[in-house]
Amino acid sequence: MGISLRTQDGVGPSFEVNFWHWRALVEAIRRTGAIAVDRVEGLHEPFCGNGLTEQEARLVADALEAQVLPVLEGQARLLLDGSTTSDPDDGTLYKGVDSAHNYSTNRDILLKFVRYLRACSGFEVL
């Protein structure tokens, strides 16, 4: 199960990531405060015309670089609640109150996402 981002101009690069990473990325965007909360909420809904404009994408890239990348070193993972852990993802599927442990992203994915945000003309979530 994955999420694809398609550029608004239809000719730029695309970005694909699994749902587990995407959810953590969206929550990282929310915590930066770079864009309005209603715009962030829409990123959780693919195939509904939701996404970011080119200007919003650049604002998010700047915020992620300034606020998130500095605290995500080496093989650390960024969890849904914004905390980090050096524990590797062991593939356990958590349920109930522990389900937030299923979602995380890492520095490599975050760097790819920031590069995409800088290169795209805005995007739609698919």
Is residue 56 over pLDDT 70? yes
Q: Tell me the two tokens of residue 111.
A: 């760097």
pLDDT tens digit string along 78-116?
Answer: 999 999 999 888 888 888 877 788 899 999 999 999 999
Percentage above 90 pLDDT, the chain: 80
Given a contact cutoff of 8 angstroms between Cβ atoms, the answer to whether 126 and 92 are in contact is no
Average confidence (pLDDT) over 50-54: 97
Domain chopping of the chain, boundaries: 19-41+53-88+98-121
Distance CA 102, CA 30 (A): 18
Q: For 18-27, 50-59, 69-78, 85-94, which range has the lowest pLDDT when averaged over its residues?
A: 85-94
Distance CA 41, CA 86 (A): 28
Q: For the sheet containing 77-79, what is the strand order? A: 84-85, 77-79, 104-106
